[in-house]
């Protein structure tokens, strides 16, 4: 592994800012002094503007001649950009040692990227070390099945199970990946 200090140093030497903290602070404090413009406007001004707009739109819809109906052709759905936070999927709740099916995503790999494949089990706990296991399954079999059966840890707790690496089938390299969050339930007395 590359030592931590080496990574920090590579990032530090390649990101030396030559700007002036004083000048940037001057811009920030100046911007803070200026109140947001909308808060200076009286509230009634916005309400009145909205009312005028609604009236104008209403009048337009009453008086404007309607366009002829559009020809019956399929129009492409316009693309829109949304920024919606994607909720994390709930972890799968399993018994200790239960068999889990991890569905693999596969992509053609490039020469020189060969690694593993390995199974990583990451406990959801600060300071806990992962278990990293080399997989012995045959590449061709994994590619044919499209999934891998693994055993959940026995110890109750939350884990992230990751399968990654490359497999080879008939001289073609593929990279595989699967990820599943699980919670191993404590055994009931």
Partner 1 sequence: MELAEQELIRRAKRGEQAALEQIFRTHLDSAIRLAYLVTRNWATAEDAVQEAFVQAFRSLHGFQDGRPFKPWFTRIVINKAKRTKSRLDRVHLPYELEEEDSGAAADPESSALDRAGLDQLFQAINTLGDKYRIPLLLKYVSELTEAEIAQTLRIPLSTVKSRLYTARQRLKQSVAALQGGGIDDSR
Binding residues for partner 1 (CB under 8 A): 1-4, 6-19, 21, 24-25, 27-29, 31-32, 85, 88, 112-113, 115, 120, 122-126, 130, 158-160, 162, 164, 179, 181
Residue 151, number of CB atoms within 10 A of its CB: 14
Q: What proportions of the chain, in percent to the nearest 5, are helix, strand and coil?
A: 30, 30, 40
Closer of 27 and 64 to partner 1 (Cβ)? 27
Closer of 142 and 180 to partner 1 (Cβ)? 180
User: Residue 91: which residues within 8 A CB-CB, separation 6 or more?
Assistant: 158, 181, 182, 183
CA–CA separation, 157 vs 123, rounded Å?
7
Q: 128: closest CA among 169, 164, 157, 104?
A: 157
Q: For residue 90, give both structure tokens.
A: 């709930």
Least distance to partner 1 from the beta carbon of 183, Å? 11
Residue that has been written with the tokens 């399929």 in this structure: 74
Least distance to partner 1 from the beta carbon of 72, Å? 35
Closer of 95 and 158 to partner 1 (Cβ)? 158
Least distance to partner 1 from the beta carbon of 69, Å? 36
Least distance to partner 1 from the beta carbon of 81, Å? 9
Least distance to partner 1 from the beta carbon of 10, Å? 4
Question: What burial class does residue 161 get, using C-beta atoms within 10 Å of its C-beta: 0-12 exposed, 13-18 middle, 19+ buried?
Answer: buried
Closer of 107 and 145 to partner 1 (Cβ)? 107
Closer of 168 and 181 to partner 1 (Cβ)? 181
The DSSP symbol for 54 reads H
């Amino acid at each position: 592994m590359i030592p931590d200090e080496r990574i920090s140093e590579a990032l530090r030497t390649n990101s030396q800012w030559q700007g002036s903290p004083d000048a940037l602070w001057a811009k920030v404090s100046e911007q803070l002094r200026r109140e947001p413009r909308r808060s200076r406007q009286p509230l009634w001004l916005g309400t009145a503007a909205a009312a005028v707009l609604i009236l104008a739109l209403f009048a337009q819809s009453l008086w404007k001649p309607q366009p002829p109906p559009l020809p019956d052709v399929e129009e492409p759905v316009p693309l829109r950009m949304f920024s919606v936070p994607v909720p994390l999927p709930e972890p799968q709740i399993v018994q200790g040692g239960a068999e889990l099916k991890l569905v693999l995503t596969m992509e053609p790999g490039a020469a020189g990227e060969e690694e593993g494949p390995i199974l990583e089990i990451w406990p959801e706990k600060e300071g806990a070390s992962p278990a990293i296991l080399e997989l012995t399954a045959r590449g061709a079999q994994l590619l044919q099945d499209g999934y891998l059966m693994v055993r959940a840890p026995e110890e109750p707790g939350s884990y992230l199970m990751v399968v990654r690496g490359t497999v080879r089938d008939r001289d073609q390299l593929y990279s595989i990946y699967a990820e599943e969050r699980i919670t191993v339930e404590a055994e009931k007395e």
